Amino acid sequence: MKVLTNNISRRNFLKTSAAAAAALGLPEWFIKEGHAHGSVAEKLSSLDKPGIALIGCGGQGRSVCNWARNYGHVLAMCDVDEDRLNQAADQFKAPDKYKDFREVLERDDINVIINATPDHWHTLINIGAMKSGKDVYSEKPLTLTVDEGKRVVDVSRKSKRILQTGSQQRSDQRFQLACELVRNGRIGKLEYIVAGLPTGPREGPFSKQPVPEGLDWDYYLGQTPVTDYNGHNCHWNFRWWYRFAGGQMTDWGAHHNDIAQWALGMDRSGPVHVDGRSLIDMIPGGYTATAKFRVEFTYKNGVKLITTDEAPNGVRFNGSDGWIFVSRSKLTASKDSLLKEPLPDDAVRLERSNSHLGNFFDCVQSRKQPVCDAEIGHRSASVCHLGVISVRLRRSLKWNPDKEEFADDDEANTWLSRPMRAPYDYDMI
């Protein structure tokens, strides 16, 4: 595939870097350095654009697909809810609509899958897509369980397909700078990290309701046990039910824990100890993923990661010589000099991306691995799953990140996978 010259010249970039720095709250040196060392998404000619299919046509899926069509041709939509499917097909002028994702994977003219389904459907679709020769942009958290993540990583390596996990904070310059500064000792010895997440909803009980016309409820449930539709366990609200997800721990936690591991240099590893607890009892018959929580992860270097809803939304790195806080809206530090002073030429440099989807499509073309590949996405999700398991077991756990199992704990290890309800299991792909 042929790449066109990027339309942002270095001269124009440097000319506007001061304004960009002010707008983003970033030091100008970092923006200039990023242009020199980072990647900027290239644009493809119309003949080189890959065919794209969106699987999971909710708001997030349509938002991602709206950006993706800058890089490819949107050819198909897939969803088990006819109403959402029709809305997406109308929005993207997609000629073809499907309910069964396997029919999408059979098409040779589709090269890229955007997987924006609920968490419990990520793995089967991602594995099926890669086995079918497709590259995948998958929403986070990458998996429902740790075991699923190991399988996704294995298929990614064997198939040599590109999988980008939708942890888009890796392509946000604020988070990139914060992680680079921490990795280079700017705040001294890193002592502990606080990942602040929103508080989850605590509602219920909910009663059975008729399944909306056009929704295939059995297919939506997929691998999970059969349960009644209640109007609060579908679409956006799936994330508050343990059967489908893990609450805010696996929702926002997949973002902020990913950044913590990146700064630690542990994004292909994990903690060695986890101690989690719920801070509130959930309402019987209501949402099942805990709404308030505090989980303390300990890494082999002694650094602790505290993930809780009782802290501002963002990630705060605390060191012997100061602190740095980063969120999607700001980057602050205990002293301005921590941010403003440039790093030396021999500093550790992290991979930089200025566009998460752009980085993905660049890698679809180059066949290089993206900034948040399958293994990184799996390891970041695993941290969240470990926290959920500790909270639900109500006790601390020892974790072996190399073997990816709990140490001498048969009960906890049974939680690393879940039974899959037939026919929505690995046999379907």
pLDDT per residue of the chain (429 residues) written in tens, 0 to 9: 333 333 444 455 445 545 656 667 799 899 888 755 555 455 555 558 999 999 999 999 999 999 999 999 999 999 999 999 999 999 999 889 999 999 999 999 999 999 999 999 999 999 999 999 999 999 999 999 999 999 999 999 999 999 999 999 999 999 999 999 999 999 999 999 999 999 999 999 999 999 999 999 999 999 999 999 999 999 999 999 999 999 999 999 999 999 999 999 999 999 999 999 999 999 999 999 999 999 999 999 999 999 999 999 999 999 999 999 999 999 999 999 999 999 999 999 999 999 999 999 999 999 999 999 999 999 999 999 999 999 999 999 999 999 999 999 999 999 999 999 999 999 999
Spatial CA neighbour of 209 closest among 169, 170, 237? 237
Please give the pLDDT value at position 206.
98
Please give the pLDDT value at position 172.
97
**Full 3-state SS string of 152-179:** HHHHHHHHCCCEEECCHHHHCHHHHHHH
Question: Hey, is 414 helix, strand or coil?
Answer: helix
Are 164 and 138 spatial neighbours (Cβ–Cβ below 8 Å)?
A: yes
Name the maximum alpha-carbon separation found in the chain: 63
DSSP string spanning 81-108? BHHHHHHHHHHHT-SEEESSHHHHHT-T
For the chain, which domains are there? 173-347+376-428 (3.30.360.10)
Please give the pLDDT value at position 31.
86
Query: Distance between CA 225 and CA 244 in Å, rounded?
Result: 10
Please give the pLDDT value at position 2.
38
Please give the pLDDT value at position 94.
84
Please give the pLDDT value at position 10.
46
Query: Distance between CA 223 and CA 124 in Å, rounded?
Result: 9
Query: Distance between CA 424 and CA 426 in Å, rounded?
Result: 7
Q: What are phi and psi of 200, to 5 degrees?
A: -80, 165
Please give the pLDDT value at position 8.
42
Spatial CA neighbour of 385 closest among 370, 402, 406, 371? 406
One-letter amino acid of 47: L
Please give the pLDDT value at position 184.
98
Spatial CA neighbour of 167 closest among 406, 11, 383? 383
Which residues are CB-neighbours of 11 under 8 A, at least 6 positions away? none
- Give bridge partners of residue 74 from the DSSP assignment: 52
Q: Can you state the angle between helices 374-393 and 252-264, rounded to 10 degrees?
A: 110
Q: What are phi and psi of 26, to 5 degrees?
A: -110, 150
H helix intervals, 222-324: 252-264
